[in-house]
Structure 1
């Protein structure tokens, strides 16, 4: 297990380029299974979850060629489905929640699949029902074997269907889209997620020969085709990392410029951070955050306390609520953070309270943060990273704190952030990685 030792209180300065989007990468890489032709993908982040998925595809027989620092070519011509029966596959697939994304492509192309219960962050119950119900409506038959925790799926005759999703799940939408592309007939998918990552997947599939319309809306029409061809694709910059850097600049009173941020794809993210009092200057695709001694949380027009809540796109992404919460600890004012989707994602606030933050955890979904307005600095402590986003929030808190902090289990952070210690040290941070 690795740990970070952070000496806080240093101001950062310089430019940083966000990595490729983790959530898009898991979908796009899985989609390479839909064709036997070569698919080239650029801007792939070097992070644990993505690397695990690439290794999983290699084990299935996908030929993977590294073309450069962040570019890979995938050729899924010789797939060996017998690998699904091995112990090694169970171990690797169950350790990665993103492994669920290979189910749709395998069903579409080969008519069958097998997947263990996937892992991932311990942030509360995360249903797979949306994936499974959507695939069942296309004709897939699921059997769960509790003795080995495997789902066995047969889909020898996928047919297009009308599907109304019970929730606008991003990964569920992506899985159903990939399966429907090669199904017989037309699929109408309503209440579909419409995040930029889903749009990117649809655009790539259309370049491969799919027929998807309604992209960017929650009503997609997918006309099944007999086969897909190869293509080339570039991942968007990671919006969660961009939001993390905005919050980090504010907390550490730093001047940072985030380069090539694809600002037009960020939705409400800049606006929500602006409501927290954080100044930003947008120049084309770059975001400059000037050094601020103080920042003040807005209140609503009637004077009531600002509430920041997650919502499906184009609402505010749940992955950044942890960042908003930690940023609020040193703001002037009060904010209610409402995490609707996951009941365990706010449980890291006890660490912030130990650091001196004033936070009232109202229930598993809501926390009220009373900003210190820099009258008292947070103090360094030892803590453990419970999940990716909470881990980075604790890292931001430690960078702003007085004294030394230690964060254990930073492998969780590595799952979603590429070489974060090295990149931040280049900006003036003092982070040491130890094993």
Structure 2
């Protein structure tokens, strides 16, 4: 079992560049199945989830040429559709929730798809209803086969229609958009997700020949086309990494410059960290976070305690609530963290409390953080990473703590953050990957 051994207390300094966006990558790489022509993708994050998806495409007979660790050319001109119904696919894709993203492209081009029960984070129920209901409205038949453990989706043809999504699911919207891109007629999707990563997918599909309008809004119109061609696409920087590095700098009293941060696509993320009292400067597309001895959480104008909660874009992403929570530990003041979307994502706070944080877990969705104001440091402990984002929050806590911490189950962190140990070592962090 691989672990991180962390000795905290070092003030870090230097430059770090965010990887390509994980959540964008899973959509974009799945979309290569929509065309028999070549698709070249740049700025691919070198992480477990993405590499597993690329491996799955290779098993499907998609030709994959990896120019380097961050650039791939794909050609899906001889896809083995039956592989998606194999025990090998079920085993591999069961480890990766992102494998559900293959369904929309497969339905669009081949009129059938298979979805195993999803894997991924253990952060609560993550339902597939939005995907399936959208596929059904486009004319897909849906059955669950208990014997093979697959959801079977088939369609004689896909027909455009109007649909109002029950939730603005990013992956659900992406899957439906891919399926609708080659359906007959026009599909109107209301209450669609509008995250930058979804916008990136729509722009890529339009370059391939799709006809999608309303990009960036919650009302998408997709005019189906008969054929999609090849293209070249470059992924955005990962906004979750950017937020993680901002929180890391504040907690460790470090001076860090985040290079090529994709500031125009960060939405309100910088503002939420400023509400915690964290200073930052934009220099071109770089974010400079100066060394701060202290930072004070803002209050509302009426004196009320600040609440930070997740909300569909352009609201605050749920993937950064764990980072905001851990960053608030050493602040002046208090904040209520309200995690609305996933009922198990705050359960890692027991480890932070064991380290000395003052946190009240109100229920599975809400926690109050009472800042320590640097009056005492966290202490190193042994802990386990329950999911990607909580794992990095624990890593930030360990880097700011006194003494040695051991973080187990770091495969969860590797799923979302490429070579995080060596990149942080370059800033001066005392972190070592070892086997226990």
Residue 374 (structure 1) aligns with: 374
Matching of residues 40-59 of structure 1 within 5 Å: 40-59=40-59
Residue 329 (structure 2) aligns with: 329
Matching of residues 25-36 of structure 1 within 5 Å: 25-36=25-36
Residue 312 (structure 1) aligns with: 312
Give, in angstroms, the shift of residue 68 of structure 1.
2.2
Cα-Cα RMSD: 0.6
CA distance in 2, matches of 1:323, 1:262: 19
Residue 107 (structure 1) aligns with: 107
Give, in angstroms, the shift of residue 220 of structure 1.
0.4
CA distance in 2, matches of 1:87, 1:149: 10
Deviation readout 1:255-279 (Å, 9 max, x if unpaired): 0000001101000000000000000
Give, in angstroms, the shift of residue 118 of structure 1.
1.2
Give, in angstroms, the shift of residue 245 of structure 1.
0.1
Q: Secondary structure at the match of 2:392?
A: helix
Residue 66 (structure 1) aligns with: 66
CA distance in 2, matches of 1:267, 1:361: 28
Deviation readout 1:160-201 (Å, 9 max, x if unpaired): 010100000000000000000000000000000000000000
Work out whether 1:271 is the aligned partner of 2:246: no
Give, in angstroms, the shift of residue 84 of structure 1.
2.0
CA distance in 2, matches of 1:289, 1:84: 46
Give, in angstroms, the shift of residue 148 of structure 1.
2.8
CA distance in 2, matches of 1:115, 1:198: 21
Give, in angstroms, the shift of residue 85 of structure 1.
2.7
Give, in angstroms, the shift of residue 339 of structure 1.
0.2
Residue 418 (structure 1) aligns with: 418
Residue 136 (structure 2) aligns with: 136
Deviation readout 1:334-357 (Å, 9 max, x if unpaired): 000000000000000000000000
Residue 408 (structure 1) aligns with: 408
Residue 15 (structure 1) aligns with: 15
Residue 390 (structure 1) aligns with: 390
Q: Secondary structure at the match of 1:329?
A: helix
CA distance in 1, matches of 2:237, 2:156: 37
Work out whether 1:197 is the aligned partner of 2:194: no
Residue 151 (structure 1) aligns with: 151
Residue 184 (structure 1) aligns with: 184
Q: Secondary structure at the match of 2:330?
A: coil
Residue 242 (structure 2) aligns with: 242
Give, in angstroms, the shift of residue 9 of structure 1.
0.2
Deviation readout 1:16-47 (Å, 9 max, x if unpaired): 01000000000000000000000000000000
Q: Secondary structure at the match of 1:176?
A: helix
Residue ranges of structure 1 left out of the alignment (5+ in a row): none
Residue 297 (structure 2) aligns with: 297
Residue 213 (structure 1) aligns with: 213
CA distance in 2, matches of 1:308, 1:70: 34
Matching of residues 356-371 of structure 1 within 5 Å: 356-371=356-371
Deviation readout 1:389-426 (Å, 9 max, x if unpaired): 00000000000000000000000000000000000001
CA distance in 1, matches of 2:101, 2:3: 30
Give, in angstroms, the shift of residue 376 of structure 1.
0.5
Please identify, of 149-158 and 375-384, the stretch whose mean Cα deviation from structure 2 is larger. Answer: 149-158
Residue ranges of structure 2 left out of the alignment (5+ in a row): none
Deviation readout 1:100-123 (Å, 9 max, x if unpaired): 000000000001111211101000
Give, in angstroms, the shift of residue 146 of structure 1.
2.3
Give, in angstroms, the shift of residue 67 of structure 1.
1.4
Give, in angstroms, the shift of residue 156 of structure 1.
2.1
CA distance in 1, matches of 2:146, 2:373: 52
Work out whether 1:339 is the aligned partner of 2:339: yes
Residue 37 (structure 1) aligns with: 37
CA distance in 1, matches of 2:147, 2:401: 48
Tell me which stretches of 4 or more aligned residues in structure 1 moved more than 3 Å.
Answer: none
Matching of residues 283-294 of structure 1 within 5 Å: 283-294=283-294
| TM-score with structure 2 setting the length | 0.99
CA distance in 1, matches of 2:311, 2:303: 23
Work out whether 1:429 is the aligned partner of 2:435: no
CA distance in 2, matches of 1:143, 1:410: 36
| TM-score with structure 1 setting the length | 0.99
Q: Secondary structure at the match of 1:15?
A: strand
CA distance in 2, matches of 1:267, 1:85: 40
